[in-house]
A and B are shown apart, each in its own frame.
Chain A
Amino acid sequence: MSGALRYEWRRISSIRATWILAACAVVLSGAFAFLFSAAITSAANSGSSGEAEGLDVSLAGSVSLSTTNLIVLVLLGTIAAQAFGQEYRHGTIRLTLTEFPKRTTVFVAKVVVCCAVILATFVIGTVVAYLILSINPQVVGETGSAFLTYFLRTCIYLIGFSLIVFAITVLTRILALGVIIPLAFAGVAETLLASLVGNYVSWLPDTLPFLSGSNFVAGNDMLRNGAVFGAWVAVLAVAGYIVFERRDA
């Protein structure tokens, strides 16, 4: 397994796009944090102090909006999608699978290394956003443990999100679809489904993966939402793994 991990690290680190995407994700996290901070300050300055307090802006919420918004998720999702998408696109998956005939090894190595890179990028982005937002006196800071809990939940969500991207890229063998499909669901489709069909099928919103995932990160009914999100991740990841294992390279 160590050879496969080394291989995957060299694969991901020798592509300039990986570093560009990671840098953009960090910079955008900081930029969003700065914009939120500026907007909060502006709102506080333009209104009475009571209105400013009424903003009730939490540090965790602001950091979350800065680091896991749709644009940053596109960047992080692209890093995940590249793991399989680029290999299928350029045919290098055949080189990889010749070196590592046990496909499980390749699948696990890709998941581990890519998730590590994505999490590292997210951590740096979070630190940047945290530092920018925590300077603003209008932003209410949580206790250390509350922030840490939020942070860990976001990490779990990101890993789940990355696994969904992996799975869809493997299933479709197309990098773009691996990014677009999860983001279309997370950003548009689920919200539309929940609002249009949710009135008639009341249980539907509770079973949608990304809504459940967002609620899990927000700390709403964590057990149920976490289980729903986790179940979707597990089903898609297992489907992706089985197809990867059985299909011609």
Chain B
Amino acid sequence: MSVEAIGLTKVFGSKTAVKDLSFTLEPGVVTGFLGPNGSGKSTTMRLMLGLDRGEGETKWDGRRLTDHPHATKVVGAHLDARFFNPNRTARAHLRMLGAEANIPNTRVDEVLDLVGLTSEAKKRPKTFSLGMGQRLGLAGAILANPKVLVLDEPANGLDPQSIQWLRDFLRFYASAGNVVFVSSHLLTEMQHMAEHVVVISQGALIADEPVSAFVNRSTRNDVLVRTPDRARLAAALSAAGLIATEDGNDGLAVQVGDSRQVGDIAFTNGVAVHELTRRTASLEEVFLELTTGSQDYATGGQS
């Protein structure tokens, strides 16, 4: 199953939260959904699920969600770690969510075990920590084994071990041919988790591509070369049409994709090389580079 968001638009009063947003989610990969605070990620997810009323539509395997006889088999969503009645036990909460698809109690127990909440099954979630709330939300989302998972910041409040577990689980879930669409502001984590990213800023699409392609967009992708004869190497690189800027006491940052090209130029010109390193920007660096200035709730130091 693939999911196609077409022209999603949402206006709150005079503010356009989501602007004509279109993208496609493919099965088999985890797709990360990135954007600064207030960029419209949660609104987009709600629009996709039909929870918010706006323009555009989302096709789930070519059909609207309302046209599927059992939506629970199509999509499982976890949008907030506090979406439960604090006086309903964790087990009863999941039994309620499983009622539509006639999910047996054994599956409820299985899912509770999977997310590590078996010992809390009979407890009321009013005492749950944020991390436990996330686990309960995830349990609800995967209960009916849906073909698509839509998760909004599921790693918030999880400890490092749980985050690693979540990463492994989502990759496993996607590898079974399912669509996994997950937003997160933990960009380092997302770099490990997602193979594809949809990036938005101020409600508009910035990127919809594999993580590797997104990272290659950065101007920070360069080759660092350290040499005792920086001036001569800089001249040689310039003569070869490459842009090199000084980096540290004895280094040059060269805007080139292949470090071998720099090594060859140095060798041809008889310049000694002490270090030759290909530097790749992190997902976080690329994200910040592309979205700086578009943050809705920036602190005083940032426009």
Contact = CB atoms under 8 A, between A and B. Distances in A.
Chain A facing B: main interface SS: helix
A143 interface: no
B169 interface: no
Interface in A94-137: 94-95, 97-102
A92 interface: yes
Contacts of B46: 94, 248-249
Contacts of B50: 97, 101
A6 interface: yes
Given A4-B100, A101-B66, A249 B51 contact: yes
B5 interface: no
Interface residues on B, range: 20 to 34
A7 B70 CA distance: 13
B77 A98 contact: yes
> Interface residue tally of chain A, by bracket?
20 to 34
Given A91-B80, A94-B79, A99-B100, A15 B71 contact: no
A54 to B, nearest CB: 50
Contact of A14 (B49, B65, B82, B89): B89
B49 to A, nearest CB: 5
A98 B71 contact: yes
A90 B87 CA distance: 10
Interface string B71-111: 11001010110111111110011011101111000000000
Interface string A1-25: 0011011011100111100000000
A90 B51 contact: no
* Top-8 shortest CB links A-B: A3-B100, A14-B92, A91-B83, A6-B99, A10-B96, A249-B51, A7-B99, A248-B52
Interface of A: 3-4, 6-7, 9-11, 14-17, 86, 90-92, 94-95, 97-102, 246-249
Given A10-B99, A94-B77, 19 more contacts: A7-B97, A7-B100, A14-B96, A16-B87, A90-B82, A90-B83, A90-B85, A90-B86, A91-B83, A92-B85, A94-B80, A95-B83, A97-B51, A98-B49, A100-B71, A102-B66, A248-B53, A249-B46, A249-B51
Interface of B: 46, 49-53, 64-66, 70-72, 75, 77, 79-80, 82-89, 92-93, 95-97, 99-102, 140
